[in-house]
Amino acid sequence: MLSRFKRCCICFAFVRMIVFYHVKLHAIVYFYHKIISVAITSIDIIGTGNLAFNLAPALEQAGFVVNRIYGRNAQAARELAGRLYQAAVQSSLDFSDSLSNLFILAIADDAIEEVSRELILPDKAVVAHTSGSKSLSVLGYTASPHIGVLYPLQTFSKVKKTGFRDVPILIEGDNKYTRKILTTVAGRLSRQVLAADSRQRRIIHLAAVLAANFTNALLHQADQVLQQAGSDLDILAPLMAETLQKSFALGPQQAQTGPAVRGDLQVLETHLEMLAGKPQLQETYRLLSQYILDEFYEEAGD
Amino acid sequence: MLSRFKRCCICFAFVRMIVFYHVKLHAIVYFYHKIISVAITSIDIIGTGNLAFNLAPALEQAGFVVNRIYGRNAQAARELAGRLYQAAVQSSLDFSDSLSNLFILAIADDAIEEVSRELILPDKAVVAHTSGSKSLSVLGYTASPHIGVLYPLQTFSKVKKTGFRDVPILIEGDNKYTRKILTTVAGRLSRQVLAADSRQRRIIHLAAVLAANFTNALLHQADQVLQQAGSDLDILAPLMAETLQKSFALGPQQAQTGPAVRGDLQVLETHLEMLAGKPQLQETYRLLSQYILDEFYEEAGD
């Protein structure tokens, strides 16, 4: 058996070893983060749409320098630059003398390919688009070896400032370095950064359009209908809040209510008659009610 | 000129008069409320669906006695009565010996007319249905001289307790007494009690179905789509919350985003191809995108 002293020595050596490696590991992580942080302090934005107007200020607030803004619409570029601390307006797609090392394309999906062909970037720059539906490969035309995607799953408008903190940001990159850079940038904007390849992102984007864009279109239709009763959209606010809350809490299958899920055909008929003067709205009603009948009716019973 | 004393006397008399009438007025209002409150301390509920399971406990919490529960489904009636302080299960539609003076029909729209034909009520009882789509006149078959509607504009499920505090409750009554009773009851449940005739209520109900029931159906469709990416509905929660918030803050016209409002036909085509295996979903996508193109595209431009 070992003496008490020897056991103490072994214990001490063991603890020292753990502390040593712990500190060393932390130092490595610290310097690694330092390098990454240094590598992406400066960003240029190409585009002046709804996303650019929300993303550029959010990047500044997250501690990055937004260096240059490029936009086909010079007026919009000046307006966006004016909202930032020190961003300059760039008038061409030649960024070869830019000090930035991340270039974010926040432009219409259809324009990405064309712009990326014309884009001239500094060596080793990372370039990323922000589209939900376009694959990573549309950036293959850029001269950059580092192409990626940073797609915030959110709806943005120029007239309304939208935070990024809870927004899922989907990241893709053609190499480890690019993924790391984009993950770090996204991680300073949001608590929810996820890896998604082009196929996954395209599917998630389609789901987002189905759910969010179409819900807004339905609210527009509802608003038109409400005017006939001398009422306005606000009357639906508590109902819509509860609908979402319930749908996410119970799942849409359990949360479905209304005449279709009850199989209340008399009401469905009356509603279709009420919409007789609005064929597009009537067709929407018919189609979605049929979907509810097909998907939920048998299971709900009641 | 009047002496100082006389002026004081006049002032005093004037103040006394105001105080007197003020007190008298308050007393009248107080006793009036007292009478109304006394008149509706006791309520019977006919129906054991989603609404009944939320309304009956809410009425109790608001200080009313829920006396009896009637339901075709005896098991459900027992379950609901079991959740209340002292409610008994009633096995027939003969309520002639009930001590209640308000009878609320919380049943399927199609059943209201039939049930109201069979219903036997005590003298002077008020009977109200809770349907958004049925007119007041379907209660014309009851023997009661006091018929009305109390329609809470909300989605209810048995498995989720839903508060009434912010729910708009639409009231209709065929006479002043009925309207008063229903307004008082609704006013104890909710802060938002509104008068609406049968036509207005039917329109508001249609708008509610378009907005809320169909949004839930869209979320179900989105959920199906997301499964293909190995993702689930939760990823859309921040987007949906922001969509609603924006739609109500800016109005749906200003809040519309997505490929259709940008006129991004390439993306629309890709999405339609992705939905090729799901014709019903594809048709929903086509129809709502066309609606957005027709209603918003020219105006939004960009």
Over residues B82-127, the pLDDT tens digits come to 999 999 999 999 999 999 999 999 999 889 999 999 999 999 899 9
pLDDT surpassing 70 at residue B254: yes
Residue A297's pLDDT band (boundaries 50, 70, 90)? Answer: confident
Q: What is the pLDDT of residue A240?
A: 98
- Total number of residues shown for chain A: 302
CB contact under 8 A, A155 and B257: yes
pLDDT surpassing 70 at residue A215: yes
pLDDT surpassing 70 at residue A32: no
**Distances, alpha carbon B149 to alpha carbons A50, A77, B73, B102, B133, in Å:** 45, 56, 23, 12, 11
Q: What is the pLDDT of residue B19?
A: 61
Residue A124 makes CB contacts below 8 A (sequence gap 6+) with A101, A145, A146
Q: How far apart are CA A48 and CA A43, in angstroms?
A: 15
Q: How far apart are CA A68 and CA A81, in angstroms?
A: 8
Q: What is the pLDDT of residue B120?
A: 96
The shortest C-alpha distance from B78 to chain A (Å) reads: 17
Supply the DSSP symbol for A109. Answer: G
Q: How far apart are CA A197 and CA B95, in angstroms?
A: 65
pLDDT surpassing 80 at residue A34: no
pLDDT surpassing 70 at residue B28: no
Q: How far apart are CA A170 and CA A157, in angstroms?
A: 20
pLDDT surpassing 60 at residue A30: no
- At residue A209, the 3 state secondary structure works out as helix
Which of A77-81, A152-156, B27-31, B173-177 is least confident? B27-31
Residue A225 phi/psi, 5-degree rounding, is: -65, -45
pLDDT surpassing 90 at residue B299: no
pLDDT surpassing 70 at residue A232: yes
* A87 neighbors A76 (Cβ within 8 angstroms): no
Q: Looking at beta carbons, which residues of chain B come within 8 Å of A50?
A: 257
Average confidence (pLDDT) over A194-223: 97
A169 → chain B, closest CA residue: B235
- At residue A79, the 3 state secondary structure works out as helix
Half-sphere exposure of B290 (CA within 13 A, CB side): 12
Topology annotation, domain A40-196 = Rossmann fold (3.40.50)
pLDDT surpassing 90 at residue A1: no
pLDDT surpassing 50 at residue A41: yes
Q: CATH classification of B203-300 is 1.10.1040.20, yes or no?
A: yes
Mean per-residue pLDDT over chain B, rounded: 90
pLDDT digits over A124-135, tens only? 899 999 999 999
Average confidence (pLDDT) over A98-114: 94
CB contact under 8 A, B255 and A157: yes
Query: How do the domains of chain A map onto residue ranges?
Result: 40-196, 203-300
Mean per-residue pLDDT over chain A, rounded: 90
pLDDT surpassing 70 at residue B38: no
pLDDT surpassing 70 at residue A83: yes
Structure tokens at B172: 């209709």
Residue B78's pLDDT band (boundaries 50, 70, 90)? Answer: very high
Q: Looking at beta carbons, which residues of chain A come within 8 Å of B161?
A: none
Average confidence (pLDDT) over A56-68: 96
The shortest C-alpha distance from A125 to chain B (Å) reads: 28
pLDDT surpassing 70 at residue A253: yes
Residue in B167, B214, B234 nearest the CB of A238: B167
The shortest C-alpha distance from B168 to chain A (Å) reads: 7
pLDDT surpassing 90 at residue A20: no
pLDDT surpassing 90 at residue A260: yes
Structure tokens at B10: 């006049």
Q: What is the pLDDT of residue B144?
A: 87
Structure tokens at B189: 């449940």
Q: What is the pLDDT of residue A24?
A: 62
Q: Looking at beta carbons, which residues of chain B come within 8 Å of A240?
A: 211-212, 215, 244, 248
pLDDT surpassing 50 at residue B3: yes
CB contact under 8 A, B217 and A288: yes
Write down the H helix ranges in A123-166: none
Residue A167's pLDDT band (boundaries 50, 70, 90)? Answer: very high
Q: Given CA atoms A95, A98, A102, A103 in this order, what sign does their dihedral have?
A: negative
What's the longest Cα–Cα distance across chain A?
97
**Distances, alpha carbon A26 to alpha carbons A29, A38, A180, B266, in Å:** 5, 18, 18, 48
- Highest mean pLDDT among A155-159, A206-210, B12-16 belongs to A206-210
Q: How far apart are CA A125 and CA A103, in angstroms?
A: 7
Average confidence (pLDDT) over B159-170: 94
The shortest C-alpha distance from A272 to chain B (Å) reads: 10
pLDDT surpassing 80 at residue A216: yes
Average confidence (pLDDT) over A272-284: 95
pLDDT surpassing 60 at residue A33: no
- Report the amino acid identity of residue A113: E
